[in-house]
Structure 1
Amino acid sequence: MFGVVFGYATHHLDERRLGDVAVVGPLTPGVEWGRLWQMARHCGRPTAGETELAQWMLTQATRAFVCGSDRIAHFQEQRWKLEPGGKCVRFNSTYANRDQLWTGNMAIDGLAPDQISERHTLYPA
């Protein structure tokens, strides 16, 4: 939808493996994690605070995951990493089955260049 390829994963904070943390970040080379926050600010409510923007991001990631598209790839136990220096938002109460959102520059092992290349979009970031 927005041209940039983003990754969405979950992280577990304890042995229950609930996936209580949502992790979202760009996979497209040269795109920094701040672009995600720009998109949320541009597409979200003008007076939205940080928590509401984080909820918008989680909603978009969940929607893309559930609805699918030609750009969605599902991996079982695929290795991903989130580089240091991103942003963490803790929700006041569980939102979309997640307690936190972590954003940052993300990488997933084994993706081909055509899977993460930016596409033309009608929506400015």
Structure 2
Amino acid sequence: MASEEGLTGSSRVTVFAMFGVVFGYATHHRDERRIGDVAIVGPLTPGVEWGRLWQMARSCGRPTAGETELAQWVLTQATRAFVCGSDRIARFQEQGWKLEPGGKRVRFDATYANRDQLWTGNMTVEGLTPDQVARRPTIYTA
């Protein structure tokens, strides 16, 4: 589902590189329990639009994968960076971030990687330097 709304928040944030592009992964809480039921993932590299994330998922996923499976691939990559530190650039316990309007939202049929939904879009994270969000050299393409 496309999103006409943006979102601003402050939560745990992981900044990581994938196929040369830098992405942010944050959590959003829809109520006072603060369980981080929504995963927020978006590109931080200047000039890269949120649709690039879905192109990567399509290139790396099964040819017949539907939207939910592609969203699971995206969340798996973000979770991998958070848990394993693979290609992680920065990790913040509490950091401000912003998701611009116009991204994509997917609700999972069942909780996946401790999240009920994935929201993607163009993203910014407070306090990052231009070097941290710059495109990275990579031998892999997607």
Aligned to 2:109: 92
Residue 119 of structure 1: aligned partner: 136
Alignment-mate amino acid for residue 94 of structure 1:
T
Query: Aligned-pair distance for 1:124?
Result: 1.9
Query: Counterpart of 1:14 in structure 2: which amino acid?
Result: D
Aligned 8 A contact 2:39 2:115 in 1: yes
Q: Secondary structure at the match of 1:60?
A: helix
Superposed, 1:49-88 pairs within 5 Å as 49-69=66-86, 71-88=88-105
Gaps of 5+ in 1: none
1:14 aligns with 2:38: no
Q: TM-score, normalised by structure 1?
A: 0.96
Ranges in structure 2 where 5+ consecutive residues have no aligned partner? 1-17
- Given the superposition, is the C-alpha separation of residues 64 and 71 from structure 1 closer, same or farther in structure 2, using an over 3 Å criterion? closer
Task: Count the aligned residue pairs.
Answer: 125
- The yes-or-no answer on 1:4 pairing with 2:24 is no
Aligned counterpart, 2:41: 24
1:40-81 deviation per Cα after TM superposition (whole angstroms, max 9, x unaligned): 000011100000000000000000111114543111221000
The CA distance in 2 between the partners of 1:32 and 1:5, in whole Å, is: 11
Structure 2 residue 128 is matched with structure 1 residue 107: no
Provide the alpha-carbon RMSD of the alignment: 1.0
Secondary structure, counterpart of 1:6 in structure 2: strand
State the secondary structure of the residue aligned to 2:94.
coil
Q: Could you state the TM-score of these two structures normalised by the residue count of structure 2?
A: 0.85
Runs of 4+ with >3 A deviation: none
